[in-house]
Amino acid sequence: MESVSTELVSLLQFLLPGFITAWIFYAFTSYKKPEQFERVVQALVFTFIVQSIFEVVKLLSIGIGFYYSLGPWKTELDSTLRASIAIILGLIFCFYANNDKLHSVLRKFSMTKKTSFPSEWHGEFSKRVTYVVLNLKNGRRIYGWPREWPADAMSGHFSIEQPSWLTAEGEIPLTGVASIVLSAGDVEYIEFMENTWE
């Protein structure tokens, strides 16, 4: 029984860096967490990448050690190095998922037409830093600066700063109101305004 628990602990230690990377990715991006099986598969892929990078770093360190030695390679530091690689890898994946830099290069070479963003909704709000007009289902319109917006078009809330109602007579500022929170379910469509203040 002890050998089974020892093997299980060793397996979990081996897989832990992949789960750390996956956790960081979903914690710092707007991507929805997939089903449990898919998350395990992603963690296994991340584990493979982390272990590959670890082996390369280890070989390079040993190779450099022939010319400039900082001491013998200590296996006690293997877990710390793997965890560090997992954290850095997770942050790198988050960076590229949150800013569309990788996919924009791939689009230039006609390798994809997709963006890094989890949805068109999220992409529009990430690319267009500007005032918006929320057209509500009841026909009213509210203008303001989107401080926060839901990750999903069907649920969540908008936090709009400097809000004003837009009517046929013109703009009616909501004086004394710092921000207003509106349900995404009440919004029919959104207008992104041009950057006229620059």
Cβ–Cβ < 8 Å for 55, 20: no
What are the Cα distances from residue 137, in Å, to 37, 133, 134, 172, 184? 38, 13, 10, 19, 10
- The pLDDT assigned to 2 comes to 56
When the pLDDT of each residue in the chain is averaged and rounded to a whole number, the result is 86
**Domain layout of the chain by residue ranges:** 2-108, 120-192
What percent of the chain has a predicted confidence (pLDDT) above 90? 35
**From the candidate CATH numbers 2.60.120.430, 2.40.340.10, 2.40.30.70, 2.30.30.100, the one assigned to the domain spanning 120-192:** 2.30.30.100
> Per mean pLDDT, which range of 27-36, 114-123, 134-143, 156-165 is the poorest?
114-123
Token pair belonging to 113:
């037409």
Residues 6+ apart with CB under 8 A from 70: none
What are the Cα distances from residue 75, in Å, to 8, 14, 58, 72, 173? 19, 14, 10, 9, 65
Q: How far apart (Å, rounded) are the C-alpha atoms in residues 148 and 185?
A: 15
> Distance of alpha carbon 157 from its chain centroid, rounded?
19
- The pLDDT assigned to 149 comes to 86
| pLDDT confidence tier of residue 3, bands split at 50, 70 and 90 | low
Q: How far apart (Å, rounded) are the C-alpha atoms in residues 116 and 130?
A: 21
- The pLDDT assigned to 12 comes to 79
- The pLDDT assigned to 45 comes to 93
Tens of pLDDT along 25-66?
Answer: 989 888 888 888 898 899 899 999 999 999 999 888 888 878
The closest of 30, 24, 54, 57 to 42, measured between CA atoms, is 24
Cβ–Cβ < 8 Å for 171, 165: yes
> Per mean pLDDT, which range of 27-36, 154-163, 181-190 is the poorest?
27-36
